[in-house]
């Protein structure tokens, strides 16, 4: 982050609007204490995650997959392929075998 600022990337650049960038930039500029920057970042991250969950909750066609329920990646892959195959009227056997 400091390297980006040192190279001249402006703090208001689109690429600096991601979570945490403005807080860390403010800390590096001496405008925020470290703990305050971290607290703001944690709060904003929680708010972002809550908005994402609200967004996805309204997508009725979405199907959640608990990746922790699978001990092998191959099992997870097969389960996801089965979900996809059930949503599209095409034969995915050649992809998912």
Q: What is the 3-state secondary structure (H, E, C) of 11-60?
A: CCCHHHCCCCHHHHHHHHCCCCCHHHHHHHHHHHHHHHHHHHHHHHHCCC
Q: Could you tell me the two tokens for 92?
A: 């995915």
* Alpha-carbon span 6 to 36, nearest angstrom: 23
* Alpha-carbon span 73 to 24, nearest angstrom: 36
* Alpha-carbon span 55 to 32, nearest angstrom: 31
Q: What is the pLDDT of residue 91?
A: 63
Q: What is the pLDDT of residue 15?
A: 84
**Could you tell me the domains of the chain?**
2-57 (1.10.287.890), 63-97 (no CATH)
Mind listing the pLDDT tens digit of every residue in the chain (97 residues)?
888 888 888 888 888 888 989 899 999 999 999 999 999 999 999 999 999 999 998 988 888 999 999 999 999 999 998 888 888 766 656 666 5
């Amino acid at each position: 982050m400091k390297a980006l600022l040192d190279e001249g990337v402006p703090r208001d650049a689109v690429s600096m609007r991601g979570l945490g960038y403005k807080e860390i930039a403010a800390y590096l500029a001496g405008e925020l204490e470290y703990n305050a920057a971290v607290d703001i970042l944690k709060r904003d991250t929680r708010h972002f995650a809550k908005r994402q969950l609200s967004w996805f909750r309204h997508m009725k066609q979405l199907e959640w997959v608990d990746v922790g329920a699978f001990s092998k990646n191959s099992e997870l892959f097969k389960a996801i392929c089965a979900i996809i195959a059930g949503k599209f009227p095409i034969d995915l056997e050649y992809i998912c075998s």
